Structure 1
């Protein structure tokens, strides 16, 4: 009976919608190229935030508040089941209700509040609470109420708060493709702050604004500006220093760890025309663990970007050297699990795990394409993001996500996965899939999700599990 009333409620709310678009800073530069001569020499600098795993359809319709303000209210209801794997745990089922409220002043402020509330329908230990307690049992979990907060508008000067999915800190040699959502019982809100004061550009981040966890910053110096004065195109030759520290005091206790890296970047080719542009960069760097002698690494490679009104393609290829337990990209897509237990035969936290000395090749591709235009935030007929690292001693790490929109954007499908330590004993594999199908004029849609999970335990081990979800939502995105 309760489920019947939920369906009725969804059908009778005409202006209530699920916001499938999440605003990540990356696209605020990709929308429109700005000629630095026209902008007084200040080309827009781009923070390295990927769009993450959200299935994005169209720029949402909103109701105006006057003076350029707009708002949106949305709701989605699904069943959400947790399933054990390899005999670990028990079945649990929940009704997940996810309301949202968004208020927007374009170019100035965007606030989106809401959180999924999971109400127990079956399973769990005797006396288990109605609301899933693991979603709200520490202060950091309340960060999920802030779905998105952005102050300032376009890069290079803004503040952004929300979930970090596939986040990269500038050069990416410490933090690359990191997600603070990999632990399914930990729901923090991260933050990214950027600023430009010629000839210095700074990007700082925190993985958890309510807990002492992962924090870091990178400072980039425009060497051309320092040596020869202000240039028409800034930041073509840079020297950057980054440092990241994990206190390990939220989302479960883990060992602290500090890494630092020095990077140099030079623009080799830069071509721009009315249809788009192409850039080719060379980079080299050296990093280590402060206070630990012999733990260091070096890297050199190339990065390229090709941009048109319909396509945004970014690629990177690097050679890396690792010594004394240090590795580039240590804070990566698997870190929120590896901080408790690394993949492989050694069941120890990453801060204590030995990492074989050797070298590796790293490649990354981010490709967005739309038959009409990339001008609308998140409007992509096709999007692929993938990173792969191959080590000379036999290990392979891969993570990626593919998203597509079909049948006049009425069907959206996303598939993602992570493989860590492939080719070696104790390899870790995770996968997920999501589909949304719009009908009845696009106002109503069905959603289905599923995938595998790993839950950190009090003993510091990882318990395997899986999830499946199906339900309905309504919105005013069309």
Structure 2
């Protein structure tokens, strides 16, 4: 996600410096010693060189105040005990814009979807509270071909994949007035399962077709269809068809999608989803199996998604949103419901920011999974703001089990963003 929009500039370059200091309480994974208390310091440096270049550095450092196992160090060990954890220092690096022939993004992947989203959809690479990798996304355009490749962990052997799309109109009749009206795409994703906790490797592939039927200023209506499977695994396949609407104006950016899906032999669309970093170790509804080995009933499902950004003045940088909503829900014919979403709002002349997020998977079935969190920021001075946040966590254990926990923090921040 792009870095926050700073306001101080020198010769066309803008920058932001920020420091947050909070008291953090964690209910730890082991449950030994009760609640752990930390002083958390989060420095941040943002450099913005315009639409095509940006850098955001910073990561939370947790200094132990109380609790924990005997002999625990000053700094929370689980935050820095692997090479991948050092990736959290790179919150965001952006090279290239949406119109550049080549673009690169390195940092936290939050709600990431790989183009069509039928393999990787709404995925977050830091859903595991003890695993903090930096991911990367590389895009490129050459004639009628558009390619996006990604890695969930640039310092470890984990999730990697790519999708290539061909603009059929461009291929057969030359460059069109509007790109991407008729596309055919092929995607493949492989999880090596060697970082952030060992898990079985898995490979998926998917073929997609999209046709834009209605084009109006600020409005598009498209239909889509596709088929996918697990190479080397007989009988594991899935099919999908659906419709989508995109609306764009100076104050509104809205994307809606509705799909009907068919799953067979353990394959499903959105396999690498918002819960995958936990599910790959312990599948929802499975007593002790990772997602790659856990059973998944065959049948049909209906999937709906809405992504809405609205601002009463004008959509600008990432932080300039009076309202941001991202919601996805899938209802399976055999009785399961999955829902995840995030709602953020700016109130009181943007001095008050409220954000809520939730994940509820396997509703209606045994072993349902729930995760919820909330955050409030209140700016009360030119450079000062207060913040409070809390929520629930799931900590992976060496045997693959997920131990429930929670967190709460309260503190102050200072920056030059105003």
Cα deviation digits, residues 365-417 of structure 1 (max 9, x gap):
01111110003343110111100000000000000011000000010000000
* Other-structure match for 1:324: 265
Deviates more, 1:326-335 or 1:102-111: 102-111
**8 Å CA contact 1:318, 1:362 repeated in 2:** yes
* Other-structure match for 2:415: 475
How much has 1:85 moved relative to structure 2? Answer: 8.9
How much has 1:230 moved relative to structure 2? Answer: 1.8
Report the TM-score, using the length of structure 2 for normalisation: 0.97
**8 Å CA contact 2:29, 2:395 repeated in 1:** no
Quote the Cα distance in structure 1 between the aligned partners of 2:270 and 2:387: 34
Quote the Cα distance in structure 2 between the aligned partners of 1:283 and 1:446: 45
Quote the Cα distance in structure 2 between the aligned partners of 1:390 and 1:331: 17
How much has 1:86 moved relative to structure 2? Answer: 11
Quote the Cα distance in structure 2 between the aligned partners of 1:291 and 1:375: 46
Quote the Cα distance in structure 2 between the aligned partners of 1:177 and 1:424: 22
Superposition CA RMSD, Å: 1.5
**8 Å CA contact 1:450, 1:468 repeated in 2:** yes
Q: Please tell me whether residue 122 in structure 1 is matched to residue 66 in structure 2.
A: yes
Quote the Cα distance in structure 2 between the aligned partners of 1:123 and 1:88: 9
Report the TM-score, using the length of structure 1 for normalisation: 0.85
**1:204-243 maps to which residues of 2 (within 5 A)?**
204-243=149-188
* Other-structure match for 2:95: 151
**1:255-334 maps to which residues of 2 (within 5 A)?**
255-272=200-217, 277-334=218-275
For residues 345 and 254 of structure 1, do their structure 2 counterparts lie closer, same or farther at Cα, with a shift above 3 Å needed? Answer: closer
For residues 226 and 115 of structure 1, do their structure 2 counterparts lie closer, same or farther at Cα, with a shift above 3 Å needed? Answer: same
Return 5+ residue gaps in structure 2 as ranges: none
Quote the Cα distance in structure 2 between the aligned partners of 1:306 and 1:83: 43
Deviates more, 1:443-452 or 1:225-234: 225-234
Quote the Cα distance in structure 2 between the aligned partners of 1:235 and 1:344: 39
How much has 1:90 moved relative to structure 2? Answer: 2.7
**8 Å CA contact 1:88, 1:465 repeated in 2:** no
Quote the Cα distance in structure 2 between the aligned partners of 1:348 and 1:430: 20
Q: 1 or 2 for the larger relative contact order (CA 8 Å, sep ≥6)?
A: 1
Give the number of equivalent residue pairs.
Answer: 417
Q: Alignment partner for residue 79 of structure 1, among 12, 23, 44? A: 23
Cα deviation digits, residues 251-289 of structure 1 (max 9, x gap):
1111100000000000110101xxxx1000100000000
Q: Alignment partner for residue 447 of structure 1, among 387, 393, 398? A: 387
Q: Alignment partner for residue 76 of structure 2, among 126, 132, 138? A: 132
For residues 345 and 205 of structure 1, do their structure 2 counterparts lie closer, same or farther at Cα, with a shift above 3 Å needed? Answer: closer
